[in-house]
């Protein structure tokens, strides 16, 4: 994007740091139930709200997982190709990332990257079962690199990166929604506008994603539908970046990924100054730098 304004750059950076903060915060309670979280954090009022590491992956404080790791791999690949997005480059980048012995990796990601290694084909077979959240959690770099592309071109780019591992219509709907909503927030649109132009059309096109008037979605699984219900309930019904992230990760389940997706959207919505200083201080400094730098460079690409 030629000559992005400082506000656009700051919101892009906030989205990327929001992704990493949500991942780092949520990973501590991944696969726990809300009851287990309340019990475990009883001395903190029953709520998990600090970036402390731990969790089932035994993370260091501020360490992130595959959500941020795959996004950074994707962003590096887009930058290496001057902002162009191709299936082959995405697949290669994810394969290299898998060889780096990441701290965690989803089953669908692993299976379809192993298939890519054998066949060289960068598109997973169409599958109604591959409706996990693994393509949506890493989609942010596409939003930043395609800010001035047409909506059709943006949707194509979303599917190219997603289909390397997740070739599924529900995953596609979520990935395209996340990217287009991120771009609207980064351009300064309000939640009210995005509710009307992006969230309502998503639920109309894919009624499985309905979340309003439904019971609070707890223990969201890695299924993209449950992930998005938790993300959208927190984003729409809870005000403020920190409250929104605390709300979503305390639902438990796939908390690092609901945290990552909520973090990128809420970061873009509330902006750089809304990110809690103590969380930024706790984040792995190398991850902080890479997210911050990549966000600004991706917005500046013009393929």
Residues of the shown chain interacting with Mn ion in the complex, contacts defined by CB under 5 A: 65-67, 254, 256-257
Nearer to Mn ion, 65 or 233 (CB): 65
How far apart are CB 286 and Mn ion at their closest, in Å?
A: 17
Nearer to Mn ion, 13 or 256 (CB): 256
Residue 203: both structure tokens together? 């639920």
**C-alpha distances in Å from residue 193, one per residue of 177, 225, 274, 283:** 14, 23, 20, 32
How far apart are CB 55 and Mn ion at their closest, in Å?
A: 10
Nearer to Mn ion, 97 or 149 (CB): 97
Angle at 118 between CA 117 and CA 119, to 5 degrees: 100
How far apart are CB 223 and Mn ion at their closest, in Å?
A: 12
How far apart are CB 148 and Mn ion at their closest, in Å?
A: 31
How far apart are CB 24 and Mn ion at their closest, in Å?
A: 10
Answer for the pair 21, 283: CB distance below 8 angstroms, yes or no: yes
Distance between CA atoms of residues 145 and 132, nearest Å? 24
Closest residue by beta carbon to Mn ion: 65
Helix-, strand-, coil-residue percentages of the chain, each rounded to 5: 65, 0, 35
Nearer to Mn ion, 65 or 250 (CB): 65
Nearer to Mn ion, 224 or 266 (CB): 224
The CA-to-CA distance between both ends of the chain, in Å, stands at 9
């Amino acid at each position: 994007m030629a000559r992005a304004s400082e506000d656009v750059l700051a919101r892009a950076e906030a989205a990327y740091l929001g992704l990493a903060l949500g991942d780092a915060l949520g990973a501590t309670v991944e696969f726990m139930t809300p009851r287990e979280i309340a019990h475990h954090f009883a001395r903190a009022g029953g709520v998990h709200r600090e970036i402390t590491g731990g969790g089932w992956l035994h993370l260091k404080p501020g360490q992130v997982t595959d959500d941020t790791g795959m996004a950074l791999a994707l962003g590096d690949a887009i930058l290496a190709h001057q902002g162009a997005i191709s299936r082959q480059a995405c697949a290669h980048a994810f394969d290299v990332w898998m060889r780096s012995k990441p701290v965690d990796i989803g089953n669908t990601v692993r299976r379809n990257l192993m298939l890519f290694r054998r066949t060289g084909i960068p598109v997973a077979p169409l599958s109604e079962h591959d409706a996990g959240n693994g393509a949506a959690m890493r989609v942010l770099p596409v939003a930043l690199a395609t800010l001035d592309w047409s909506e059709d071109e943006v949707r194509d780019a979303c599917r190219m990166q997603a289909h390397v591992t997740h070739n599924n219509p529900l995953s596609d709907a979520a990935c395209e929604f996340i990217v287009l909503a991120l771009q609207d927030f980064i351009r300064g649109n309000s939640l009210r506008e995005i509710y009307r132009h992006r969230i309502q059309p998503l639920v109309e096109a894919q009624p499985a994603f309905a979340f309003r008037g439904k019971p609070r979605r707890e223990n969201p699984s890695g299924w993209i539908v449950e992930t998005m219900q938790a993300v959208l309930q927190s984003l729409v019904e809870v005000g403020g970046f920190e409250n929104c992230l605390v709300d979503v990760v305390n639902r438990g389940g796939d908390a690092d990924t609901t945290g990552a997706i909520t973090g990128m959207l809420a970061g873009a919505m509330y902006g750089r100054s809304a990110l809690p200083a103590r969380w930024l201080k706790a984040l792995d400094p190398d991850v902080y730098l890479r997210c911050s730098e990549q966000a600004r460079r991706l917005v500046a690409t013009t393929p």
